[in-house]
Amino acid sequence: MTVKELEAKVQAAEEKVNKCYNTIERHKAQKQKKIDKFNKLGYGTYNSIDRIVARDMRENGTMTNEDYWLLVDIENKDDDIKGATKKWEDAKTVLKNWKEKLGREEAKQQYIADSIPQIIKDFLNEWKEGTIKFYKEMKDRYFNAQKVFKRDYNYLVYDYITEHSDKYAYIQDNPAVQQFDPNTDYYHICYDAWYAVRKTEDYKQLEELYVLPYKEDPTFVHWKYEKFDEAWLDKVTTQEMNNKLVDLMARVTKVTGTITDATNLKIRNGELNGIIVGERGIANVTTIGAGGYAIQRFHFRTLIHPIR
């Protein structure tokens, strides 16, 4: 499991511990409330009467049936508290185990981080900087594409209204149609025409040019939803960089053991390639950039092959 996954497990286990503890406290409060109620009934204090005595009192009519069962409820609360306490102890054990696993994974990652060759750090830092630059440029292209898309979409709507003048004669005198402005949102003039255009081949071509390239990239879509927050982009690329760093080092050291020589690793055109030597073996590192228009900056594959 990754550190992030283990942190989620620890958080869930902590919530479970707190929930069990709150259950114990709730049962204790309920028990005390019942004890206070019983002590006011005139039979003496709760601790001075056991169930056998209470049963005899009920049978001879000196205690009501309702009061007897109140006494029983108080005793049953001890079982509730005992059961909740067992669950609490179990939950604490689970939490302790998850914390230990998290600590071991963090220590492992720290060990890996301390032994990372500078060339690998440079490679991933370059990847992060390039990715941020790519998405900033993509943002500008997106805004420009949306302007063109809106303009050409409105041209299509205007032409559709004109070509179907018999159907849309009732809006021919509309000033927005007579004084055509491609920057106007035409759906509010004639929603029917605006919607009909969406089913045409011309509109589909517009989508392919100006909309679909951005829908293909989940990171860009998320960033668009975040309103192009550059702080968010830096955060998410840093997290991804760290994930890639740990994953890459774990796969390398699995083959090489502790790295002793990384001087033959080179960065060319944003790709890390070469030979890396360790105490246990030698590995050939090969980077393959992922294909695709929108995802090429964010994704790559680094292959680690043992050299016998």
pLDDT at residue 88, rounded to an integer? 95
Q: What is the DSSP letter of 200?
A: S
Q: How many helices (H) and strands (E) does the chain have?
A: 10, 5
The answer, yes or no, to whether residue 266 has pLDDT greater than 90, is yes
Above 60 in pLDDT, residue 63?
yes
Model confidence at 86, in pLDDT bands (50, 70, 90)? very high
Q: Where are the domains of the chain?
A: 3-112, 134-225
Tally the C-alpha atoms within 13 A of residue 96's C-alpha that lie toward its C-beta. Answer: 6
Q: Is the pLDDT of residue 215 over 70?
A: yes
pLDDT higher than 80, residue 242: yes
Q: Which two tokens stand for residue 258?
A: 């502790």
Region 138-165 average pLDDT: 83
Judged against a pLDDT cut of 70, whether residue 94 lies above it is answered with: yes
What's the distance, CA 67 to chain centroid? 54
Q: What is the pLDDT of residue 221?
A: 63
Q: Is pLDDT above 60 for 64?
A: yes
* Of 234 and 93, more confident: 93
> Do 278 and 302 meet the contact criterion of CB atoms below 8 Å apart?
no
Question: How many CB atoms lie under 10 A from the CB of residue 236?
Answer: 19
DSSP E strands, the chain: 259-261, 266-268, 271-278, 282-289, 300-307
Q: What is the mean pLDDT of residues 22-29?
A: 93
- 305, 286 contact by CB (below 8 A): yes
Average pLDDT of span 174-192: 67
* pLDDT value at 29 more than 90: yes
Q: How far apart are CA 284 and CA 282, in angstroms?
A: 7
Tell me the three state secondary structure of residue 268.
Answer: strand
140-165: average pLDDT: 83
More confident residue, 2 or 69: 69
Helix, strand, or coil (residue 272): strand
Q: Decide if 62 contacts 112 (C-beta within 8 A).
A: no
Q: Which fold has domain 3-112?
A: Helix Hairpins (1.10.287)
CB 223 within 8 A of CB 232: yes
